[in-house]
Amino acid sequence: MKPTKPVSRARRMALKTLGLFGGLLVAGKSQAHHTDTHFEDSSAHNIVYQCNKADPEYLQHILFSAGELLRRYGDDVQIVIAAFGPGLQLLGKHPERPIPKELQSRADSLAQYGVAFHACGNTMLTLNWTEDDLLPFAKMVPIGAEDIMLLQEKGFSYISW
């Protein structure tokens, strides 16, 4: 048996750094799995959150829960947050009700990881909003309740706070 050479401290640090970097790359690719064509691909887990209040604590709970599911299931979950009524304020560029900017930033961050944010077109009409009034990551759907119904028909679990 050939004797092994001890690994130098510099080499050990380089290997640790490389391992850490590789772990970050894998973690960075974790995102909810969906397409822009209303979820033609499938995931093992599908969930739609009803978001119908402008209360910051309520919104924080929904965003936190969605983030936890994303961290737990990564690519194997499709998450939709369906906003209508007062909940639509979360997705507005200039909300009429006070929505903390950090909550809109958190929603934007979740969207970058694949969480879909659907804005009710009927509520937008009531508020005289157009798609230009929505934050860039939000997608308008004609009727928020119909969107939830269609997602449930496709196997999405429905969560209401």
pLDDT tens string 5-52: 454 455 444 444 444 444 444 444 445 444 443 445 578 899 999 999
Give the residue carrying structure tokens 């979740």. 110
Residue 4 lies in a domain: no
Q: What is the CATH number of the domain that holds 87?
A: 3.40.1260.10
Residue 17 lies in a domain: no
Amino acid at site 39? F
Rounded to whole angstroms, how far apart are CA atoms 32 and 53? 24
| Beta-bridge partner residues of 45 | 77
The crossing angle, in degrees rounded to 10, of helices 56-73 and 101-112 is 20
Q: Is residue 114 a contact partner of residue 73, using CB atoms and an 8 Å limit?
A: no
How many other C-beta atoms can be found within 10 angstroms of the C-beta atom of residue 91?
A: 28
Q: Is residue 116 a contact partner of residue 81, using CB atoms and an 8 Å limit?
A: yes
Residue 97 lies in a domain: yes
| Predicted TM-score of the model (pTM) | 0.75
Give the residue carrying structure tokens 């033609």. 40
Residue 135 lies in a domain: yes
Cα angle 76, 78, 81 (rounded to 5 degrees) comes to 150
Residue 73 lies in a domain: yes
pLDDT band at 1 (very low <50, low <70, confident <90, very high): low
Domain of residue 105: give its range: 31-160
Q: How many domains does the chain have?
A: 1
> How many CA atoms are closer than 13 Å to the CA of 126, on its beta-carbon side?
14
Give residue-wise pLDDT tens across range 88-146: 999 999 988 889 999 999 999 999 999 999 999 999 999 999 999 999 999 999 999 99
Rounded to whole angstroms, how far apart are CA atoms 141 and 75? 24
